[in-house]
Amino acid sequence: MNRPVISHVLIYPFHAFEVRAAFVIFALFCAIFGAVLAMDLFHAGATMEFDRDFLLALREPHDLSDPRGDTWLEELGRDFTALGGVPVLTLFTLAVVGFLAFTHHKTLAMIFFVGTLVALLLSFGLKEVLDRARPDLVPHKTQVHTASFPSGHSMHAAATYLTLGGFLARFQQRRRLRIFVMAVAGIITLLVGLSRVYLGVHWPTDVLGGWAMGSACALITLILARTLIAPASVAKEAFVDEAV
């Protein structure tokens, strides 16, 4: 294989809409997370101040045990947080893997399974190593059993939903549908992370870190999918028309 072909194979994944969309989401999460972390460079303890202020802003000032909003909003928060829980995402992952396998996309099925599993294991590993304490400013509105950083719900949700969104976008020929699919995946990821802070079980920086690392896992998985599946036919395959 000559050098131009090798270069084409390496660059090819970045022509894909889903890879570029995942990169934009990843870059956005990293930028926000980096900006918050950089606050400590100018003012010691600024990150903790940000965490405290954001967390308390979501609670009633006269009763910190009560999240802002009516009781239905609190129930909604629990419903959203469940979308990033291990049981739900495990069932969801197995369903997607089974569907891909039965529709003759076994390579995609394996890549999806491995990618989400790595994200899950990485989040648990980081929790054990960093061992950050959970917020103690407000009562928790749901049960927790692990350390705080990173938010496993946020990280695993980002890795799972953004990867699936990328896979679905890959098979859509209309640009507006690809944008819609990736937008839905991003919104679900955002709602899961915000619900963790709303329920008082994570600091905002836990969620930002989870989003950044989870979207990184999704981006790597999507690049891997394009790299492993496309190179054999990259010279013959034309890029999908991106006209609206």
Distances (CA, A) of 204 to 24, 36, 89, 125: 21, 10, 22, 20
| SS3 label, residue 123 | helix
> CA-CA distance, 151 to 30, in Å (whole number)?
15
Structure tokens at 110: 């394996």
Structure tokens at 77: 């928060």
Q: Which residues are catalytic?
A: 153, 202
Secondary structure letter of residue 1 according to DSSP: -
- Sign of the torsion formed by the C-alpha atoms of 208, 209, 214 and 219: positive
Give the residue among 233, 15, 236, 213 at the shortest CA–CA distance from 118.
Answer: 213
Secondary structure letter of residue 15 according to DSSP: G
SS (H, E, C) 127-180: HHHHCCCCCCCCCCCCCCCCCCCCCHHHHHHHHHHHHHHHHHHHCCCCHHHHHH
